[in-house]
């Protein structure tokens, strides 16, 4: 792997972990019994809207024991975000 591709790979990985991880914590904070529950969760879901909309819809619909399903959806979103951000950074590096 070329140095520029490796740099794009690492940056996209860190970005995806932070962005999707932030959305996942916010989603699990939407539950009233969560110790992280608070007003900040709604604002953070708005910031991370593209990766949290499906899981938020699942929470809003009232599905019982949806934590595992939410986790699986967020893992898929992480992989998709990682791939798309890597392709974006890789394409941006080639233009330079």
Q: Write out pLDDT tens, residues 14-47.
A: 999 999 999 999 988 887 777 788 788 888 888 9
On whether residue 95 sits in a domain, the answer given is no
Whose tokens are 């940056």? That residue is: 11
Rounded to the nearest integer, the mean pLDDT of the chain is: 87
Quote the number of domains for the chain: 1
pTM above the 0.75 mark? Answer: yes
Residue 74 has pLDDT above 90, yes or no: yes
On whether residue 51 sits in a domain, the answer given is yes
On whether residue 15 sits in a domain, the answer given is yes
Residue 15 to residue 65: CA distance in whole angstroms: 29
On whether residue 96 sits in a domain, the answer given is no
pLDDT value of position 38: 79
Are the C-beta atoms of residues 77 and 51 closer than 8 Å to each other?
Answer: yes
Residue 80 to residue 70: CA distance in whole angstroms: 15
On whether residue 73 sits in a domain, the answer given is yes
For range 71-75, the mean pLDDT:
94
Residue 90 has pLDDT above 90, yes or no: no
Are the C-beta atoms of residues 73 and 54 closer than 8 Å to each other?
Answer: yes
Domain with 7, as residue range(s), is: 3-90
Paired tokens of 67: 């934590």
On whether residue 66 sits in a domain, the answer given is yes
């Amino acid at each position: 792997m070329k140095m520029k591709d490796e740099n794009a790979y690492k940056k996209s990985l860190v970005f995806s972990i932070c962005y999707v991880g932030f959305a996942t914590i916010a989603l699990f904070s939407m539950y009233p019994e969560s110790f992280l529950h608070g007003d900040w969760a709604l604002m953070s879901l708005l910031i991370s809207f593209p990766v949290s909309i499906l899981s938020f819809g699942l929470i809003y619909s009232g599905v019982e024991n949806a934590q595992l399903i939410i986790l699986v959806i967020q893992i898929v979103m992480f992989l998709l975000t990682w791939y798309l951000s890597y392709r974006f950074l890789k394409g941006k590096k080639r233009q330079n």
